[in-house]
Amino acid sequence: MTRELTAGGNLVLPEGAVRLRVAGEFDVSALVTGADGRVGSDADFVFYNQPQAPGVQLRGDTLAVEPGRLRAGACRVTVVVSAAEPGTPLGRLPAPRLEVTDGSGRAVARFAPPQPGPETVLLLAELYLRAGTGWKLRAIGQGYADGLAGLARDFGVDVTDDGSPADGRSPADDDFLRLVNWARVQAGSPRIALEPRLVSAARSHARAMADAGRLGAEGRDGVSVHQRITGAGYAYITVGEHLVSGPRTPAEFVEYCLGSERSRRTLLDPGFRHAALAHADAGDRYWTAVWAAPLTPDALGRAAAEVVALTNAERGRIGLAPLAVDPLLTAAAQAHCADMVARDFYDHTSPDGAQPWDRAARAGSRLRTIGENIACGQRSPAEVVTGWMNSPGHRANILKREFGHIGIGFAGGGRAGTYWCQLFGG
């Protein structure tokens, strides 16, 4: 008979392996500790990016624990849940429900704690060794206000800012980086490094695709992979992604990406400096890889200068004078790109009704003739200028004799991933 536990309740566990499953929009973690209540090393923290330790293995929403195979001195395994979407208060989600089964799949216990509040982490239950009775399960259901990273630190784990062990990597990450960097070195591209914020975004998007049962740049929540990247705190100057289903391992994933010209070009792009890979299962295995280079003032300045140079080269082909960079037009163009990302629109007219000339005037410009080109989704200055030149209206602005000044704006994020603006004045 299955025991329905309440907070504080406990029961003797059957011998052998047990499985603890928490379905829903949650990440499941475990901390293996000794008699002092602290981990022996960072390897005792089992979570999405480090899914196994001696005697403990995490597969999707289920922890498998074999007490007899735990590391020497381990006498407690604490089961923790947090929201799959980082930073989400657990009170916004349905209360987690723990289901415990034995090695043969027979139901042993269930525990549904009271609805959490603003906490982002819940100590759900613990397996502990009691002299004379063996291993027991205790239901806890206690919220933890300091987040997963704070909880891990309190248990003695040396963590980075995203709550990962200090090295932030799992064996799967090492396989991914080794294979990718080997291919990049062969192609003459610089090596990339794993980036924890990109890992968070990739995990979130892979899970969103698995929940929807299909590949897509947006999940059913309407959030795009690019919005997940910026939402995780990573601002980029260039970005790429692979959204793939089918491969079972990082090696198969990399092989798949190297097999087509377009995906191979992204994987080998010399402009990228950081990457991450994550998957989620729902029948099929859904993979998200994200690639990026961080936004810095120098990188933004170089991109803007390249757009200006390419624009002036087009003007020079028909004998027009080059455009001079105007700081006030630049400020207005940059603000419009940031506004399109922040307010999730794409238009020359802002939601408040402002037009390009209004934005130029607000920035302090006294130029009388104003024109604007915008674009979204292009990944480089060359791509965006080529796109504008292939569009009659945008081309006309670039080649307009009356214009003598220009400002360039760029912002990463939003549904399209990249937003560009040319603001002309004369």
What's the rounded Cα separation, in Å, for the pair 373 and 348? 8
**Each residue of 45-54: pLDDT tens digit?**
998 778 889 9
Beta partners for 19?
64, 101
What's the rounded Cα separation, in Å, for the pair 190 and 168? 21
- Given a cut of 50, whether residue 367 has pLDDT beyond it is yes
What's the rounded Cα separation, in Å, for the pair 103 and 16? 7
What Å distances lie between residue 25 and 84, 204, 308, CA to CA? 5, 10, 46
- Predicted confidence band at 162 (pLDDT cuts at 50, 70, 90)? very low
Q: What is the DSSP string of 130-181?
A: ETTTEEEEEEEEEEETTHHHHHHHHTT--B-TTSSBTT---HHHHHHHHHHH
- Given a cut of 70, whether residue 245 has pLDDT beyond it is yes
- Given a cut of 50, whether residue 422 has pLDDT beyond it is yes
Residues 303-330 have a mean pLDDT of 96
- Given a cut of 90, whether residue 25 has pLDDT beyond it is no
Note the pTM of the prediction, 2 decimals: 0.60
**Each residue of 257-285: pLDDT tens digit?**
999 999 999 999 999 999 999 999 888 89
- Given a cut of 50, whether residue 161 has pLDDT beyond it is no
Backbone angles phi, psi at 200, to 5 degrees: -60, -45
Percent share of the chain, pLDDT over 90: 64
Residues 357-369 have a mean pLDDT of 94
- Given a cut of 80, whether residue 147 has pLDDT beyond it is no
The per-residue pLDDT for 292 is: 95
- Given a cut of 50, whether residue 329 has pLDDT beyond it is yes
Q: Is the CB of residue 23 less than 8 Å from the CB of residue 80?
A: no
CB neighbours of residue 389 within 10 Å: 15
Q: Look-up: residue for tokens 């206000």? A: 145
- Given a cut of 70, whether residue 373 has pLDDT beyond it is yes
- Given a cut of 70, whether residue 327 has pLDDT beyond it is yes
Residue type, 316: G
**Each residue of 210-236: pLDDT tens digit?**
989 999 999 888 899 999 998 888 899
Q: Work out whether strand 107-111 and strand 3-5 pair parallel, antiparallel, or are unpaired.
A: parallel
Q: Which two tokens mark 211?
A: 């929940």
- Given a cut of 90, whether residue 163 has pLDDT beyond it is no
Q: Is the CB of residue 326 less than 8 Å from the CB of residue 271?
A: no
Residues 349-367 have a mean pLDDT of 95
The per-residue pLDDT for 167 is: 47
The helix (run of H) or strand (run of E) holding residue 278 is strand 274-282
Residues 312-336 have a mean pLDDT of 96
- Given a cut of 60, whether residue 164 has pLDDT beyond it is no
The per-residue pLDDT for 170 is: 61
Q: Is the dihedral of CA 327, 332, 337, 341 positive or negative?
A: positive
Q: What is the DSSP string of 199-263?
A: HHHHHHHHHHHHHHTS--SB-TTS-BHHHHHHHTT--EEEEEEEEEES--SHHHHHHHHHTSHHH
The per-residue pLDDT for 121 is: 87
**Each residue of 80-99: pLDDT tens digit?**
998 877 667 888 888 899 99
The per-residue pLDDT for 278 is: 92
pLDDT, the chain, mean: 90
The per-residue pLDDT for 87 is: 66
Residues 294-323 have a mean pLDDT of 95
The per-residue pLDDT for 233 is: 87
**Each residue of 376-398: pLDDT tens digit?**
999 899 999 999 999 999 999 99
- Predicted confidence band at 308 (pLDDT cuts at 50, 70, 90)? very high
Most confident of the following: 7-11, 116-120, 149-153, 306-310: 306-310
What's the rounded Cα separation, in Å, for the pair 88 and 359? 36
Q: Is the CB of residue 384 less than 8 Å from the CB of residue 378?
A: yes
Among 168, 101, 121, 126, which Cα is nearest to 27's? 121
Among 107, 120, 127, which Cα is nearest to 12's? 127
